[in-house]
Amino acid sequence: MTDRTLDHLVVTAPTTDTGAAWVEARLGVRPGPGGVHDRMGTHNRLLSLGPSAYLEVIAVNPAAPAPGRPRWFGLDELSPTAEPRLAAWVCRTTDIGAIDGKPGPVETMTRGSLTWLITVPPDGRSPFDGAGPLFIQWQTDPPPAATLPDLGCRLLRFEVTHPHPETLGPVGGVEVQRGEAALRAIIDTPAGPRVISSR
């Protein structure tokens, strides 16, 4: 079995500012600067969830040209008035080529000095109605989770529900249960445990 570990949670939003405000209203901590993804026409803001995981707020970058392809995480389908939400998650591996049933081709991506391989579904939508992960293999050492400022947040538990949980496969640090497709993260913050979810 190829190693699979939760790498980061993804909050989609019409803008990074509205997404960061949504996170701050729920966690009491505002995500910091991120960067741009030239190949996808997106940009992000980041929040550490401990030494091996983080939260990403991602949105269409209005200053970037359209990428000529569907943007990841279903961002092209997001309306300008959409409520930000926990919409996806990304699973880290050291051998992305060995993952069975990948949700799309493996592509090389960059952001600043970072380089990684990631599975990108051709339609841009996260697999299994958002309950399934994208897979990432970092080619930069150390990866982002190890370098972000520690603002006192820690991921306590990440829960995934799906009508057919067996299709998602085991992932370290993730609780997969049967139910309607949904994501829920319990995060310890300086003000105590807080919850963000896909609903």
Closest to 118 (Cα-Cα) out of 93, 100, 135: 135
Q: How far apart are the first and last CA of the chain?
A: 32
Q: How far is CA 78 from CA 14, 33, 196, in A?
A: 7, 22, 19
pLDDT in tens, 115-131: 999 999 999 998 888 88
The total number of structural domains that make up the chain: 1
For residue 100, pLDDT over 80 is answered with no
Average pLDDT of the segment spanning 166-187 = 85
Average pLDDT of every residue of the chain: 92
In a domain, 90, yes or no: yes
Q: Domain limits at 128? A: 5-151
What percentage of the chain has pLDDT greater than the value 70?
97
pLDDT in tens, 6-42: 999 999 999 999 999 999 999 999 999 999 999 999 9
Please list the alpha-helical segments (H only) found in 10-165: 16-27
Residue with tokens 């190693």: 3
Average pLDDT of the segment spanning 47-67 = 96
In a domain, 185, yes or no: no
pLDDT given at position 2: 56
What percentage of the chain has pLDDT greater than the value 90?
76
CA angle (85 as vertex; 82, 89 as ends), nearest 5 = 135
- If DSSP codes are grouped into helix, strand and coil, which group holds residue 62? coil
In a domain, 105, yes or no: yes
In a domain, 156, yes or no: no
The long-range contacts involving 100-105, CB below 8 angstroms and separated by at least 24 positions, are 100/169, 101/169, 102/135, 103/127, 103/128, 103/132, 103/133, 103/134, 103/135, 104/134
Mean pLDDT highest for which of 51-55, 93-97, 123-127, 171-175?
Answer: 51-55
**Could you write out the DSSP letters of every residue in 151-190?**
-S-EEEEEEEEESSGGGT---BT-EEEESSSEEEEEEEET
pLDDT given at position 103: 78
In a domain, 44, yes or no: yes
Question: For position 101, which CATH number holds?
Answer: 3.10.180.10
In a domain, 168, yes or no: no
Comparison of pLDDT for 45 and 2, the residue scoring more:
45
H or E stretch covering 72? none
In a domain, 82, yes or no: yes
In a domain, 123, yes or no: yes
For residue 172, pLDDT over 80 is answered with no
Instruction: Band the pLDDT of 1: cuts 50, 70, 90.
Output: very low
pTM for this entry: 0.94
